[in-house]
Amino acid sequence: MTLHRYDTATSSLRPFTPLVPNVASMYLCGATVQSNPHVGHLRSGIVFDVLGRWLRHSGYQVILCRNVTDIDDKILHRAVHEERAWWAVAQHYERAFQAAYDALGCIPPTIEPRATGHVPQMIELMQTLIERGHAYASDGDVYFDVRSFAEYGALSNQKPDDMLPAADSDHGSRKRDPRDFALWKSAKPGDPFWNTPWGPGRPGWHLECSAMAQAYLGETFDIHGGGLDLIFPHHENEIAQSKAAGMGFAQYWLHNAWVTAAGEKMSKSLGNSMVVFDVLDRIRAIELRWYLVSAHYRSNLEFSDDALQESGAAFRRIEGYVMRAAERTGVADLTGVTIDAAFSAAMNDDLGVPAALAALHELVTEGNRQLSADASDDQIRTTLNRVRAMLDILGVDPLASPWRERAAGGSDEALREIVNALVSTQLAERQQAREHRDFATADAIRDRLTAAGIALEDTPDGARWSIAQESDN
């Protein structure tokens, strides 16, 4: 079955037909590095990571360009607040984002360009737009003339007359139309600047992505993506300036929904963000990734500690099966393992992860039956490998990189993951014993865990464990 995905530009499911056979070129709007990443920031990175994994499994060479916006008003404001150089602020938070992507098991992009490294390409693009009559210089600023581009507003389904003024410049009086957006901003005292034919200044946000996408993916490429909040104005403006310059630009547009808290988009400005590293103090990275991949990418994901704990418990049940089966059969190479048809059909249908998980859960149930029935090693191994192949597509196979390496690394996090895997195996055996009304065995397992310093709590969602607190007496 051919991969179909929802294209924001056409508001329809379209079969994926790449420009170059067996090659998928993708551009993802990455981080504006002005603060520590929150859970909402990471969702698009994980969505594209899963898409890339599925495309590779489907036989495509994947070229992923994920940019870093390292010059922006927000970065300059943060630099003033932190009393640090703007570039030091940008590098600090860029490293934080990279650590978060790595912690959640995202495969590194093919290229990760910084905006500040591509000013010559931006200048060239502006020159082209001015020559074609789509942009104009005004007292050191350069603006895109939205009235000159007939398709402006098509992506967001708006008409220019209905749009609010572009709030990306302090010099609205320099614009021909209040909706014109800034390609280049003239330098302010004390701000970083680059010299251009129109005077010193720095790039506008929208210009950066068009220049970098062209530099690494060419004038036309397959997929452009990011969060829903980028559809307008960012992606609308990217399309306008790129196509007005003569590029074909992106053939498909993919947008993931938000992570919400109390029904509102998770964002720093609303004060409801959950910094990734704070969340990882409460839950393992693999469990956070499972939580973020489990919903369909076009559905909002409501974040709460209860939802996080429930999701983690669900994953631990799957992980427990994997570890028990691997203890029986060993860890095999997954090369050549066939993905189940139901899972494949779901993933080809616009990355339908919820339906794919239904197929996964059904297979895990079968795998647990095999273990209980003392099936042959070959049967258990075959089912285990099918389960692991599905988990690997989602980036949560506990026996694959990077999770396996972390479990062998000896750090506190690694120790935590080892203990969790061992306890999860015991809890799975205890649950099976209880289901078979073998309460003597279930009690014996609980006693062994208690003696080892593990406290258990039986809940409607299954048993939860924690390290027992030592008594002060």
Q: Write the CA distances from 419 to 169, 258, 466, integer angstroms.
A: 54, 33, 10
What pTM value is reported for the model? 0.83
Q: Please report whether residue 210 resides in a domain.
A: yes
Whether residue 36 contacts residue 280, with contact meaning beta carbons closer than 8 Å, is answered with no
pLDDT of 473: 39
**Which element (helix H / strand E) includes 254?**
strand 249-256
Shared-domain flag, residues 308 and 230: no
d(CA 275, CA 113): 24
pLDDT of 418: 54
pLDDT of 123: 97
pLDDT of 79: 93
Q: Please report whether residue 102 resides in a domain.
A: yes
pLDDT of 409: 56
Q: Please report whether residue 269 resides in a domain.
A: no
**Which element (helix H / strand E) includes 135?**
strand 135-138
Shared-domain flag, residues 313 and 231: no
Percent helix, strand and coil across the chain, each to the nearest 5: 50, 15, 35
pLDDT of 411: 47
pLDDT of 130: 98
Shared-domain flag, residues 322 and 247: no
Q: Write the CA distances from 321 to 64, 384, 385, 436, integer angstroms.
A: 34, 8, 12, 17
d(CA 171, CA 193): 17
d(CA 325, CA 77): 53
Q: Please report whether residue 222 resides in a domain.
A: yes
What per-residue string of b and e applies to 249-282 under the rule 16 or more CB within 10 Å gives b? bbbbbbbbbbbbbeeebbbeeeebbbbbeebbee
Shared-domain flag, residues 246 and 350: no
Shared-domain flag, residues 183 and 304: no
Shared-domain flag, residues 199 and 293: no
For residue 465, list its beta bridge partners.
456
Shared-domain flag, residues 325 and 382: yes
Shared-domain flag, residues 121 and 201: yes
Number of domains in the chain: 2
Shared-domain flag, residues 305 and 403: yes
With a CB cutoff of 8 Å and minimum separation 6, the contacts of 38 are 266, 267, 268, 273, 274, 275, 276
pLDDT of 470: 47
Which 3 state secondary structure label does DSSP give 131?
A: helix
pLDDT of 262: 75
Q: Considering 221, 256, 291, which residue would you say is the last residue of a domain? A: 256
- What is the CATH classification number for the domain harbouring 44? 3.40.50.620
In degrees and rounded to multiples of 5, residue 186 shows phi and psi of -65, 150
Q: Diameter of the chain by CA atoms?
A: 83
Q: Please report whether residue 108 resides in a domain.
A: yes
Shared-domain flag, residues 353 and 235: no
Shared-domain flag, residues 322 and 450: yes
Q: Please report whether residue 297 resides in a domain.
A: yes
d(CA 298, CA 414): 33
Q: Please report whether residue 262 resides in a domain.
A: no
Shared-domain flag, residues 421 and 354: yes
pLDDT of 410: 46
Q: Please report whether residue 452 resides in a domain.
A: yes
Nearest to 221 by CA among 233, 230, 229, 212: 212
Mean pLDDT by 10 residues, the chain (473 residues): 92 97 97 92 96 97 97 92 92 94 96 96 98 96 96 95 85 87 93 95 94 97 96 96 97 95 68 81 93 96 91 94 92 91 97 97 96 91 96 96 73 55 72 84 85 78 66 41
| Domain that includes residue 200, residue range | 4-256
